[in-house]
Amino acid sequence: MVAKNKHNEIIKAESRDLNFFYADGTQALKNVSLPVYENKITALIGPSGCGKSTFLRSFNRMHDLYPGNRYDGQIILYPDNTNILDPKVDPIEVRMRISMVFQKPNPFPKSIYENVAYGLRVRGESNARVLDEKIEEALKGASLWDEVKDRLQDLAFNLSGGQQQRLCIARALATDPEIMLFDEPTSALDPIATVNIEELMSSLKDKLSILIVTHNMQQAARISDYTAYMYLGELVEHDKTGTIFTKPSKKETEDYITGKFG
C-alpha cells in the first residue's frame, strides 16, 4: 500500500493520534499526527521538554527499554501498512528498518571496522567479503572513508567527536535502513563538524527518509523539507519548511521562530 499527500509525495510513515505516557504517569505526547515523507527530511523543532525527542524515539520503540512506558495511538509504516506500536510487532524488526543516530556520539568499545560491522553481525552476516564491501560502502556514505581507510582496526574512541558521529551514521547506514532518526545529532559538535553532518544528511535523503530533532532553527531551515513545531507535547503546526519559516499560520509558531519565545 502506498500513501500519498496532495502534492503526490509518498508517505513513508505517519503517526496517528499518538499519545505517550512515561512510567511516572506524565503524558509527554498528546494526539500527535504527523507524516514522514519518503526521501525528505522532516525536522522537529520546539522548546526543551516539548516532546520532540519522545516522539522521535517512539519510531524505533526505544521507550520499550524502560519498564512502565506506554504508547497509545498508531505509527504506521508503509508500504507494510503496519502499526509498529502494536504489541504483536517485534521492536527488533522495527529497529532493523528504522535506525537511529543519537545526540552524543556513542560508538561501541570496538574498532572502527567492528562498529560499522555491528548491525550486520547482529543480522547474522559473517562473510568477510560481504562485510568488507558493506563497511566500505557505509563509510563512504558517511563521508568518513578517506579519513579512516588506513586505520580501520583502530579503536573508535580515537576519532574526533565529529568523526565519531559520522561513524555512528555509517553504523546506522550499513544495514540499509528505510528511515533514519536523528536526535539532535550536532548539538555536541563544533561548527565545522556540524556542517559536515548537515551536508551528509542532505545527501542521505536520496536513499532514505529522515526525521530529525533539532534545537537549532537555522539547521532546520537549512536542511529540512518539512518542519513540525511542537509545544508541551502537542503538534502546533506542520508544513513545508519554507512556509513555516516565512509565513507560519499560527501565532505561537511565529513567536518561537522569531525568538520572542523559547
Which spans of this chain sit near other proteins (rule: CB under 8 A)? 60, 62, 65, 67, 92-93, 95-96, 99-100, 102, 104, 106-110, 118-119, 121-123, 155, 157, 168, 171-172, 175
Residue 179 has which C-alpha cell?
528511515
- Count Cβ atoms below 10 Å from residue 72 Cβ, excluding itself: 13
Burial of 137 (C-beta count, 10 Å sphere; 0-12/13-18/19+): middle
Smallest distance from the beta carbon of 115 to other proteins, in angstroms? 9
Q: Return the half-sphere exposure (C-beta side, CA atoms, 13 A cut-off) of residue 233.
A: 12
Instruction: CB nearer to other proteins: give 124 or 191.
Output: 124
- Cα→Cα distances 80→1, 115, 172, Å: 7, 30, 21
Instruction: CB nearer to other proteins: give 102 or 145.
Output: 102
Instruction: CB nearer to other proteins: give 109 or 191.
Output: 109
Smallest distance from the beta carbon of 94 to other proteins, in angstroms? 8
Instruction: State how far the Cα of 165 lies from the Cα of 118, in Å rounded to an integer.
Output: 15
Smallest distance from the beta carbon of 122 to other proteins, in angstroms? 5
Smallest distance from the beta carbon of 179 to other proteins, in angstroms? 12
CA angle 14, 18, 21 (to 5 degrees): 145
Instruction: CB nearer to other proteins: give 100 or 244.
Output: 100
Instruction: CB nearer to other proteins: give 65 or 192.
Output: 65
